[in-house]
Amino acid sequence: MKKVVFITGASSGMGKVTARVLAQEGYIVYAAARRTEKMDDLRAAGVIPIQMDVTDETSMVNGVQYIINAQGKIDVLVNNAGFGSYGAIEDVAMSDARYQLEVNVFGAIRLAQLVLPYMRQQRQGRIINISSIGGKFAMPLGGWYHASKFALEALSDSMRNEVKQFGIDVVVIEPGGVQSEWGGIAVDHLKKVSGGTVYRPLVDGFMKLAADAENKAADPMVIAKLIRQAIEAKKPKTRYAGGYMAGVILFMRKMFSDKMLDSILLSQYKLKPATR
């Protein structure tokens, strides 16, 4: 029987490319997003769009039930929906911080809760959480985004060992720089929140780094292939990483001390810490 894949955040970027690739490979793919009008091309490719807001309980419950009613199962959940809300921690409104966590953490884990009973019943399944290399290290101005990805990494580790007994795998994907709408949204929010505050020098430094990274960002297909690999592997790894700077950053995080990383980061932002 064909495997049924449910992927969120599929209206653009990695999610859209992954949905198309999996449909071409013969999977039954349900693709969820708030903006279903942006998935007409996926519909033409055989993907089944679902309107869903991962901050809305009714929307998530109805979406999962729709797939179960149609297919009787969900073999793979790809939690891809997410965004980056950037700004200095002092400047970010708590309402914005909560929304960041609501989308990137609580939405993903709530969907895992909703599909797990069906996966347990069939004694197999795979939950793939799209984290980030930003779930292993935190840059200035991205505190709440990084907090959401650190949390998703931890929750994935806990859940992996909880559900292994039922034949269910939990896998984390850690993208580096990838071409998407994500960067533009993060930068626009950063300028709005901290562009006119005492953190302006950091913002200016970040903007230069972001522009350089955008020019070197990997094609979303890189991550789509990792997701497909995580789905098809008989014994999947706990983590897969790919995209611009992914290997370098994760190596630095493993090998360098916090102080060394701080110095490297501040030098990239062209800032020096205050002398005391």
Q: State the residue for tokens 């611009």.
A: 244
Distance CA 229, CA 224 (A): 9
Residue 17 in tokens? 């490319």
SS3 80: coil
Residue 112 in tokens? 């895992």
> For residue 79, which of 158, 165, 171, 191 has the smallest C-alpha distance?
171
Q: Give, in degrees to the nearest 5, the angle at Cα 181 between 43 and 27.
A: 30
DSSP for 190-218 reads HHHHHTTSTTHHHHHHHHHHHHHHHHHPB
**C-alpha distances in Å from residue 128, one per residue of 80, 160, 163, 170, 251:** 8, 10, 13, 6, 23
N residues, the chain: 276
The residue from 27, 145, 199, 244 that is catalytic is: 145
Counting Cα atoms < 13 Å in the Cβ hemisphere of 162 gives 10
CB 147 within 8 A of CB 213: no
Q: Is residue 118 annotated as part of the catalytic site, yes or no?
A: no
Distance CA 193, CA 86 (A): 8
Q: How far is CA 149 from the centre of its chain?
A: 8
Distance CA 65, CA 114 (A): 9
Residues with catalytic function: 145
